[in-house]
Each structure stands twice: as structure tokens, then as C-alpha cells.
Structure 1
Amino acid sequence: MNEKIPEGAIPHMNKRVLAILDELITPKGPLTLADLASRNHVSERSVRNYLAEIEALSQCEGVGKVNLLNRTGQVTVPDGFPLAELRKKATDDYYHYHLSAKERRAIAASLLVNSTGYVTLQQIADYLYVSRVTIINDLDAIRSIIEADGLLLHSQPNKGLTIEGSESDKRQFLLAHKLINASFITGGHLEQHDNTSLEHILCKIVNEQEHVHNRTLSEAAFTRTVHYLLICVNRCHCGAYIEAPTDENPSPNYLELSQEIMKYVSQYCHLTVTRNEQQAFASFLARQRFSRGTRSEKDSLRLQLLTRQFIEAISSELTPSLNSDFEFFDNLSSHLISTLSQAGTESESALHTVEDIASRHPKAFQSVQRHAPLFESFSHRPLTRIELDYITVHVCAALERVRNDYMAFRIVVACHAGLGTSKLLMAKLHEHFNFHIVDVVAAHDRKAMEDASADLVIATTPLDRCPLPSIVVSPILTDEDYVRLGEKIDELRLHHHVPPRNTPERDINAEAIMQIISPIAEEMLPEETSAPMLQRMHRAIRRHFLEANGGEQAVFLPELHHLLPAAHILLDAEAHNWREAIEVGSALLLRDRNIEDTYIRAMIQTVEQFGPYIVMAPNFALPHATPGAGSKRLAMQFTRLKEPVSFGHPKFDPVSFLCVLSPIDTNTHLKAMFNLISLMKNAAFRKDILAAATAQDAYTRILQHEYLLEP
């Protein structure tokens, strides 16, 4: 077959193999099988397999035959053996990955099934970067894949290929083959789904409805359900609606759950959901496995609070401060939850980029290292160098975002295919940088890059003979990309003398408008009317920006005043010790059935087990337990005690204020919790809330202070 393989690229060398290959080329002392397994967070058996793969590739690529592992477990490279030549041939770039024939045919089949109208052989060939002859040779195999699932492949002269079959069979094909990110062709043009934020939304919807209906999907069923909804949303958006189900009507319980989930899918994904869609989804749910209890979220809240303490600690040493950067808190806490709280899970090996960034920012790394004991108290082990490197990358990325002073740069975005990738990357760039994006071009269009008069090309794929300075990033713009992009800008400033320009102003957002309006309203209006009016204005402005920008982050991450209405604020409550404080601090949540009695007992047991880590600021505690311990809805109760009580904290006792948190997952409460801790660390706020006369007065003061937090 006449496939286009990038010259010199090794097709199947994955990231772990590359990491081990790099260690072999530049060893920092004797290497053993156990050393490599420990440093790369894999088993010794995996390392043996990776070494065997390197040996096979070395021979296959003409570098030479070599034995890397001896009988005693020592890993050595013979003197003079040119292993570095193998590294030059290797690529860890996703876009250079060479599909096997089986993978290529499966993707071609998905492209056909997921498309509307006719698809030509040339369109498939262009998408897969192979010749038309290759697709012709694959056609029988592609037909077999499609027809094995009850669909028919038809060919029409001068039009192309099309699929005949029911919409339900097409979706079943995509779900069975796990092709949730499949591209499609409509109107003769290739389109690509941006499923990154969409999947996040759907996970939140399903998770919340699990709690509301007190039914929990198994891990595998939860994943299948989210994949089903991804396919449903993408198919409906391209005009492919499901027919009426032919099986028996599902039970009312499944239909009710389906209707609730689909209601929010319709609202947040801008989708018209038909009754057929509701019934088909209910039938799907009836075939899934439900289990009692919730998926493991053990200790997530505790780790989030430790993350907040860690950020405060490093902010006292690094400039600028990261205390008000919610995105950094969200990213870092999510990363740590996935790596520290899931024992037995293999993490990715340290990539060259991560190690390089950490080594180039010694001050940030040293600060991370100094305050790592906060996380080590949670994991009950020292953090590895790889884990410290990754945390350092998160810190450096946050510092780059806060600096955000790249206003003089004209940028061209270059993508390898479709509008989906470029839109995703542009959204990320607009969110965090003040770049002036002058054009979006195809990766091969050198002339368009030259004509753009830009300072930098930001590409999602390596560029061949790019006429301008360029950098390759992921479409989702990872933390490593943020740091490398900042360093590239510094390099251009230093060596290329980019001229200053009048740059466009930053996009106006809801918080910026409220920052301007709030002081004027508070000055001009009576106190009893300013807060309600500000609240109504804020909701209206926020709704406008959410509708314009698809702000799912704000939709799913309520702020503090959303979770602390006056009805959930209790002033001058009496308690004689910290246990009674937690009980009285939960009374309103228990009254409104946001929690069960078991949740109060779980909060007390948490303090008994881990100590007073919930005391987060002077005179303030944040009692909580895991969602599965009896929390039914996302809610908070703020309590001001008549007399302070001791929790046993050496620095912040005694406690006069506490806020009980009832979470439903590991994320939805993050923004409110972040703002609450930020406020409680402010002495002016504590003094102000101490002076509140009523619950409504306290709510008004919380609302006003939250508006003043940096966005």
C-alpha cells in the first residue's frame, strides 16, 4: 500500500519508551531494572517489554543489534553503541503517529458512518494522509466492518460513498467502536468535534442526576453513558435525529432519569431534544448496570484544602502572587487528586518537556520542594522527582498566565485540518493571552503565513519550512504549552526586537463590568436596595455573557453567594465544643434535606481521624465529608458562633465561624470554596461579617465582598 509515512519517523514508539530511551542515552549513574520501573512508575515487567522494544527497533532501523539487560538486572549500553541515532529517528509527536491498517480502516469506517451525505474516496484519503489507492485497496475491509453491524455501504458514481441504515444502528456502531471523537463530512467539508468541554459538561450532568435520583452507575456504565450522550449531541447538531424506538417502553424510573438528564443536555448543549431521543436514552439506561453508593472520591476535599494552603505558601515566595488564581487552584487540585489519591494507578512518565521546564525554573522548583510536605502528609510517602516536576510545571504555567503581558504580538494560528481544532486553540489563547490573532491558516499554507505580517506562528502540528518563528502546541493548550509559549515570547523579545504596537484591548467580561458598576450603585442607592439590584444586574450580565460565550465553567461552578442564601446563614449559634459546632452548623442543611444524619457523623469522624486540617483561616473552619457519606445536594451553611470553640489548631484557633460544605462531586463546589477561603483570610471581611445583624445582612455583605475579589 502506498501510504505517506513521515520520513525518518518511527511509528509505534510511545512516550514511556522514549523516556526510557532518553535515560539510556544520558544515564545519571548505574541503571537497574528496578530503578527504571520506580522512576517511570511502571512495573519491572513493563520495563522489560520497553527495553525489548528498543532492542527490536534498533535492529529494525539499522542502528544495530544490542542487548540492554543482563541477568543481574543491570541495564547497560555497550561502549560505542550509537543508541542516540535511534532517538533521532524517533518522534513523540502525536501527529507523526503511523496508523496500522486495522486502525486506518476503522477510522475510515467511522468517518463514513458519522457523515451526512456522500463522502468521496479522496476526502477519506486526505483526512488519513494516505493515497487514494490505499483507500481503494482498503474498501472491501471497510465495507466488512460497516456491514458487520447491520449497515450498508453504497457507492454512487460522481457522488461518492454513503451509509444506509437506521440512526440507532449508526449510533450503536459509533458507541461499540468507541468512536466518540469521530469527525464527519457535511456539505463536502470536513468538520471536527470539540469534545473536550462537551464531555466535561456531560459528566457533570450525569453525576448530578445520579445524586438527585440516588442511583449510581458503575464506572464502566458511567463512561458508556457519557459516550452515548456525546454521540447523541454531535449527531443531533449535524441534523441526524433518532427514530422512534422499536423495543418495549422503558420503566417510568428510567424514563424519568432520561428526561432529567436530557433536559440539562438540551439547556447546556443548545440542543433540541425530541421525545424519541428521551425514550431511546431511557432504553439505553435500562441496559446499564447501576450500583449502590458513589464512585471513589475519598479524601478529594481534604486534598483540595491542602492545595489551597500550598498555593498560599508558595505565593509568599514567588512573584506574582497566585492566591487569587482560581484556574491554577482548579488545575493543580485536579492533577493532585488524579495522581496522589488513586493508589495503584500508573502515571505518565516524565516527558523531556516537563523535566526541562522544571530545570529552567529553579526558584519555582525549590519553592515546590520546600512545601511538598503538605502533600506528603496526605500521601504518606515522599513525592518523587517526577511528581515535583509536574507540580512545578503547573506553578510556572500559572505564573505565565498572571504575567499576561504579551500584548504586542501578532499571531497566526496554523492547524492541520478542520475548524474544530483552530476554534479550540483560539478560545484557549483568547482566554489567557492578549495576543492579536491576525489569521488562521492551514499548516501547509506558507504564502498565507508570509502575507500575515505576524510575529509568531502557533501551530498544532510541525511545520515544514515555516517562514516565521513558530511553536507547536496541543490544541487544548496544556500547562507545558503555556510555559513554553511564554519562554518563546521572551526569546523573541530578546533576540528579534519585536516593535511595540497599539494593541487591542482585552475582551470585556461580566466581572469587569460589575467591578465598574458595583461602587457606583453602592454610592448612589440606599443600602436596602443596592444589594438586590446588584444581584439582579449581575445575573442578567452573567446570563448575557454565558449565552454569548458558552460559559459552561460558570454554569457548573456556582459562586459563594449562590450557595449561601440568607436561609442558609445562622448567626450567634450556641455550641460548647467543636462537635456541637459541627452539629449546629449543619442544622439548616439537615432541615432542607440537603444532607442526611450520616453526613454529620462523617464530618466529625473526619476531624477525629485527620485532625483540625479543616481550620483554614483565623477563626474559621470548613467542615465536610465525602459525597458518598450522606450529602444529597450541593449546598453550604455559614454559621457564626455566639462564643468561639477550640478545634485544636495551633495557629487559627479559636473558631468563631464555620461553613459546612455538602458536595456532590469533586469539582462543582470549587469556585465557591475558593472564594470563601479567600474571604475568610481577609481580616476586613471577618470584621464585617462579625458586625452583621441579620442573616440577610450577612448575605448582603458576603455578596458585596465576593464582587471585590479579583476575577
Structure 2
Amino acid sequence: MNQRIISIIKDLCEIQKNITIDDLSQKYNVSQRTIRNDLISINNILRDNELDEMELIAGGQIQRKDNFTNINYFLTEQDLYSYKLSKEERIAVASVLLMNSSKYITLSTIADHLFVSRATIINDLDEIKKYIHSFGLGVTSHPNKGLRVEGKESDKRLFLMRLANSKKENTMVSRHISIQAGNRITIQKVLSEQEHLHKSYLTDESFQKIILYLGIMINRHLMGEYLEDREMKNNDYYVMAQDILRYVSQYCHINTTENEIQFLSELLVDSQYMKQMTKENKIIKIQLITRQFIEHISYDLGINLNDDYDFFENLSNHLESVLKPTPPDYPESSIIDEVLEENQDVVEAVNQNLSIIKQYVSREIHKIEIGYIAVHICAALERKKNKEVAFHVIVACHAGIGTSQLLIEKLRKHFNFQIIDVISAHEAENVDPKKVDVIISTVPLPHCQVDYITVSPLLNDEDYIRVGNKIDALRNSRHLPSRIGETELSAKGLLDQLSPLIYEIAPVHHDELMKAVRKVVRDYFHQSVEADAEIFSPYLHHLLPSTHIQLDVECVTWQEAVRLSALPLLEYGYIEERYINAMIHNIEENGPYIVLSDGFAVPHEGLEQGSVKVGMNLIRLKHPVHFGADDFDPVEFVCCLSAVDHKMHLKAFFNLVNMLRNEEFKEALKTCKNVHEAAYISEKYEYSLI
């Protein structure tokens, strides 16, 4: 296989586009006979992997089947042994190998990596040196050690960025040479968070460029390669760079320097930005409505769904569209009708409690919208029920390992599955039915002998129901082996158990110890995606340290209580002055819905009303005041919330509402003697939920 064949495959993956032999001949400047030979090679790949072959029809048009794009999976399996590098690619890859080594590297090592002879690399050496020199870097040699790149660390990183971000078709550099480190999800969330906090929104291209750089930076740090001293220059993005690197360093276990901050700020200065988009300003209100709705649904169904965080998050996202003046155009789905037909008790519970939502909607709520609400509830019920059953499961995925890993973590999170293997879709027909209960696949498996269910890699609520229905059918249709009672230990499960124990033994050093334990456990389980995916949803005790709590505050009116609860956030730079007035106006306009529980209020305002950073501040009043909240008055605790987006505060808010259902928690807050004790109470009761 050569570079041209790879490029042709990429062209042909655009199934909707008509492509002829003549088109390809002109694009690649070769004869039509050469293109025909390339197409024969591609058909051989398709046939070997049991995919439908291409056909030539009138006018030399190349007809591809719908499953043609599955060929990409098998291309990612190729290595340098089967892929013949062009000389240009060989020079680039060899240059990266040299650049990405913190030590000397021999010509034989480079040759082994490229699956070519040492003589080939010797012949390429002058051009490799010339190529590296074009980036302002040099290559030194040592008779007994080999070669090494010399020059500024900043130039080396820019070199790696340019090659990894190359626009040339199918360059093999980034595919075969690891130049990045750190969890990409984590880096992306850090950057997204800081975009919001600093009101500086990168274009998609610049966003990806900064993510790429941060991955390279982390990798270089892990190799012990640090930036040279740089001239410190003030620019508008220095603080943003500082905040980005503070969190990247914390979560990716590296150290940062002033030189790193300065260089990143320079990259940010050179980046492209777009105007900030308008956001909905009723997000927190919707989440409060969601919480109230879930509590009533749980009571009516006799099943506690209050502790299902995904249910809370998914339903609040759905209700955001329901509360809009114009109903969204929902796609028709057969499963909606099935849900309405088979779960009349759920539909009845939704209709009985629809008034909680209707009071905030100025239009009729359509039947399909109610159906989707019922789907969310049924999915939550399935998750709760099927955590009790430990089926042996194989995951089949036509995409790469990253997609299958995300699917696995979602399955593990909501079902008590034993994931015994991950396979390619074409391997499914060879699975022994005696060793597995069900296969969960992202594509149909027509020749598979084992029960399987097809789901989306994102595993949405409809998929949860499909999986749950399949499990019910299996459970009812045959005798399950004794291993069903087994449970599987995961990195997240173990960390959840260790964290409160470590806090009890060493509260002062809890964060430091957990950081070390977390790294060891994740490395052992190879489950960093699972552990890092929610890392930027801070817990309540993260937002309510002792510095964000005041006790026995004196005031007379609820307006004064709201203002006093917000003043520390104003002082610390979490909110602007206008946010306080907006909160008071919100309560005057919409009523005291912010009083969540007996004696406990969470004032807030929508996004774009002056919130700068996500945060909370809690005050305990010396003399409770009335908010006009009927049975929930008088209010003794006022917890001001500042939110910057839909999700960052969600876990803290979710845990707070669940803790307020525990009278012991509120009683402990009432009787605590100082702010340090109050912060400890918050953390202690929150850990009891985890």
C-alpha cells in the first residue's frame, strides 16, 4: 500500500460524492491504468475484511456500498511494516524521532522504527539534517551515541506542532510517532472552562491548535524537556495562560514555570477569536425545576431516582427545550410509542406532575415532548434495575479504540456488566456463545451467533432502554450461570471508596495523597478516561471551603440576606456588582422558587448577568428571615450560587439538593461552632452520597 492508495480511499469515503476514474487520474497526475490497479488493491482490502467491493459503472464512475467507510478501521490497524513510506514521509518521521528523543538516538534505531535498512537512513541523513535546520534547529552527532537535535525548546515544540498539524494528505508522522501526552478530554475541558471565564472564545482551528500544543508540552515535560528562559512581556492573555496551565499542571501531574506561561500567552495572542455567543439565562432555574420534578416522580413511582446524576443532567437539558416559546422539531421515533404503551405508570406520573413544568411554559406541551420525558425516566429506571445483574458482555466497535473505550465506560457506569473483551465488528461471528451473554455493538452483526444489541457509541437514553429490554429478554428466556452475582472492580469504584477513608485518616494531606493514589490506581486499571471525564464538575465541598462560609450573619430582610450571601463572591472576583441586583430582581419577578428546602435558599441569576467564575458562598443567619416561601419559611441558610455555563456547577448543586433531604445534615449546620467545622460537615455528608 502506498500514500496515493490511502489518499484515494479517503476520497472514496465521501459516499455521496460521484467520483470517476478520470477524476482520480487528473487529481493524482497518473494514468487511468494506474488508478485501475489502485482500485484493485483497494478491493482486495475490502474482500479480505468481508466488506462489499466497489464496482465500475457507466462513464467510469466508481460505485461504493454503504459499508465502504468501514475500511478506515482497518487502515488504522496498519503499521509502518505494511505501509511503504515515501521518501518525504520517511524524512519527516525520522526528524520527529530525533526531535522527540531526550537522549541520543542511533541510525539503527531510526531504521528499525521505519522498517527500512540502516543504509537507507544513511542516504537520507543529509536531507533529514537540512529539513530540521529549516526550523532553526541543528543536529549534532556523537561517535558512540548517535544523533541529537540541538536548539531552543520553543522551536522544537513549534516544529512538532507544524508536523502534527500538517495539511498534507495522510502524513504518517502523527499516526506513528507519539508527540502528545495527557488526557485530551481533560485538556479540552480546561481550555473550554478558561474560555468562558476570560470571555475569550477561540475559533475551532485555534482551539484545536492550543489543545495540540498543550499535549506536546505535557509530553516534553514528562521527558524532562523544559522551555528556555524567555523575555517576560505583558500581553492581554497572560492571565488566561496562567489559569490554563494551573489546571493542566494539576490534572496532568506536571510542573509549570513562568516561561511556560509566557510562551502559551504568546500562542494565545497569535490565535484567532470569535465573538461570544448569546446564552440562555434561565439554566439554573430549569435545573431547580428538574430537581423538584424528579422528587415528585420518585414519590409517585415509589422508586428513589434522586441520586441518578445522569438522569438529572439529561432531563434538565431536555426541559431546557421544553421551556422555550417554540417547541423543537423532535424526530419521530418508534421507541417513544413503545415507551408510552408499555410504561403507562410512568406516563401517568409525568402527567400528574406536569404542572410543575407548565407553570413556566407559555404554550401547550406536546405529546411527543411528554414522551421524551417518559423516555428519560424509563432510562433511569433501567439503569437502577440493571445494576443488580452482572452479565458477561463483549463490546464490538467498528471505530477506533477511543470510541470503544468511551462506550465501555458509559456501560460500566450504568450497568453491572463484566466487560470480558473488546473486538472488531468482523470478529463477532467467531465469538463462542458459551463464554458471553450478550454483545453490545455500534454496528449490525448479521453473522453473529450470540445475542447482540446495536447502540450508538454515545449511548443515549433510547439505547439504555434497548439494552435494558434485551437484558430482560435474556433473563426471562434462559437460566443464567452462577457468575451473575459477581461484581467488577473499577478504578472509579475503588477511588470512591478510598477517598473518604483517606480523608478520615489524613484530612490535612487528603488532596496530596489522593492525587498520588489516583495516578497509581488509574495506571493500574488503564481507565483514565473514566476517571477524568467528569473532572471539571467540582463537588460541593470544592465550592464551599471555610473561606466561603460565614456564620451568624445579622440581617432583617430577605433582600439583605441575598446581598450578604453574595458579597464574599463579589470581593473574591466571582461576580460583578450587577449580579446581586439581578438575583434580587429575579426573586421579585419569579417568586421564591430558590428556596429549595425547609429554611434553605440558593439565590442565583442566569448566565450573562455578571457571573465571572463558578462559585458558592453560604451564610447562616443569626435570625432567620421570610422569603414568602410558605412552608419553607423562615430561611436560616442562604447559599449564593454563581454559574458560568450549563454544567460546571451541576454536580455541586445536585449533591447539595440531595443533602438537604437529610435532616441530620441541616441540623449539623445549625449547631456547628465555626466555619471550619461547617466546611467539614459539607464534605463529610457529600462523601456519604458518593
TM-score by length of 2: 0.69
2:474 is aligned, of 492, 504, 516, to: 492
CA contact (8 A) 1:299 1:341 kept: no
Q: Secondary structure at the match of 1:438?
A: strand
Aligned to 2:311: 328
Aligned to 1:144: none
2:389 is aligned, of 389, 403, 407, to: 407
Q: Distance in 1 between matches of 2:325 and 2:517?
A: 44
* Structure 1, 269-278 or 453-462: larger mean CA deviation: 269-278
Map 1:63-462 to 2 at 5 A. 98-101=15-18, 122=42, 126=46, 131=53, 159=84, 186=175, 198=184, 201=186, 204-213=189-198, 215-217=199-201, 221-229=202-210, 252-254=235-237, 257-258=240-241, 260-261=243-244, 264=247, 268=251, 282=266, 286=270, 288-291=272-275, 295-337=278-320, 339-340=321-322, 346-405=328-387, 407-450=389-432, 453-462=435-444
- The residue type paired with residue 498 of structure 2 is I
Map 1:559-708 to 2 at 5 A. 559-708=539-688
Structure 1 residues 186 and 612, CA, compared in 2 at 3 Å: closer, same or farther?
A: same
Structure 1 residues 208 and 471, CA, compared in 2 at 3 Å: closer, same or farther?
A: closer
Cα deviation code 1:264-312 (max 9, x no counterpart): 4576578999989986885576453454x77414100110111111111
Q: Distance in 2 between matches of 1:603 and 1:404?
A: 42
Cα deviation code 1:3-33 (max 9, x no counterpart): xxxxxxxxxxxxxxxxxxxxxxxxxxxxxxx
CA contact (8 A) 1:368 1:388 kept: yes
Q: Secondary structure at the match of 1:657?
A: strand
- The residue type paired with residue 272 of structure 2 is Q
RMSD: 4.6
Q: Distance in 2 between matches of 1:204 and 1:706?
A: 24
Q: Distance in 1 between matches of 2:382 and 2:536?
A: 26
Q: Distance in 1 between matches of 2:19 and 2:606?
A: 44
Q: Distance in 2 between matches of 1:363 and 1:344?
A: 28
Q: Distance in 2 between matches of 1:532 and 1:271?
A: 22
Q: Cα offset for 1:169?
A: 6.6
% identical aligned pairs: 32
Q: Distance in 2 between matches of 1:434 and 1:101?
A: 47
- The residue type paired with residue 407 of structure 1 is V
CA contact (8 A) 1:439 1:452 kept: no
Q: Distance in 1 between matches of 2:319 and 2:367?
A: 14
CA contact (8 A) 1:233 1:271 kept: no
Structure 1 residues 363 and 345, CA, compared in 2 at 3 Å: closer, same or farther?
A: closer
* Structure 1, 124-133 or 664-673: larger mean CA deviation: 124-133
Structure 1 residues 459 and 452, CA, compared in 2 at 3 Å: closer, same or farther?
A: farther
Q: Distance in 1 between matches of 2:85 and 2:605?
A: 58
* Structure 1, 259-268 or 684-693: larger mean CA deviation: 259-268
Q: Distance in 2 between matches of 1:103 and 1:572?
A: 79
Any unmatched runs of 5+ in structure 1?
1-95, 110-119, 139-154
Structure 1 residues 184 and 449, CA, compared in 2 at 3 Å: closer, same or farther?
A: farther
Q: Cα offset for 1:429?
A: 1.8
Q: Distance in 1 between matches of 2:82 and 2:550?
A: 75
CA contact (8 A) 2:613 2:643 kept: yes
CA contact (8 A) 1:436 1:503 kept: no
Q: Secondary structure at the match of 2:482?
A: coil
Q: Distance in 2 between matches of 1:406 and 1:504?
A: 10
Structure 1 residues 686 and 235, CA, compared in 2 at 3 Å: closer, same or farther?
A: closer
Structure 1 residues 625 and 539, CA, compared in 2 at 3 Å: closer, same or farther?
A: farther
Cα deviation code 1:555-606 (max 9, x no counterpart): 2111111111112111111111110011111222223232221111111111
- The residue type paired with residue 288 of structure 1 is Q
Cα deviation code 1:212-265 (max 9, x no counterpart): 43x333xxx5544444456667899999xxxx9xxxx99832466456436645
Aligned to 2:30: none
Residue 464 (structure 1) aligned with residue 446 (structure 2): yes
Q: Secondary structure at the match of 2:365?
A: coil
CA contact (8 A) 1:320 1:402 kept: no
Any unmatched runs of 5+ in structure 2?
1-12, 28-39, 63-79, 93-158, 221-226
Aligned to 1:11: none
Structure 1 residues 235 and 698, CA, compared in 2 at 3 Å: closer, same or farther?
A: closer
Q: Secondary structure at the match of 1:441?
A: strand
Aligned to 1:21: none
Q: Secondary structure at the match of 1:444?
A: helix
Aligned to 1:513: 498
Structure 1 residues 593 and 482, CA, compared in 2 at 3 Å: closer, same or farther?
A: same
- The residue type paired with residue 419 of structure 1 is I
- The residue type paired with residue 159 of structure 1 is K
CA contact (8 A) 1:444 1:464 kept: no
Structure 1 residues 509 and 379, CA, compared in 2 at 3 Å: closer, same or farther?
A: farther
Aligned to 2:9: none
* Structure 1, 227-236 or 434-443: larger mean CA deviation: 227-236
CA contact (8 A) 2:390 2:486 kept: no
CA contact (8 A) 1:578 1:647 kept: yes
Q: Cα offset for 1:432?
A: 2.0
- The residue type paired with residue 459 of structure 1 is S
CA contact (8 A) 1:619 1:655 kept: yes
- The residue type paired with residue 316 of structure 2 is S
TM-score by length of 1: 0.67
Structure 1 residues 566 and 348, CA, compared in 2 at 3 Å: closer, same or farther?
A: same
Q: Secondary structure at the match of 2:608?
A: helix
Instruction: Give the total of aligned pairs.
Output: 555
Structure 1 residues 609 and 259, CA, compared in 2 at 3 Å: closer, same or farther?
A: same
Q: Distance in 1 between matches of 2:687 and 2:461?
A: 28
CA contact (8 A) 2:379 2:461 kept: yes
Q: Distance in 2 between matches of 1:203 and 1:606?
A: 33
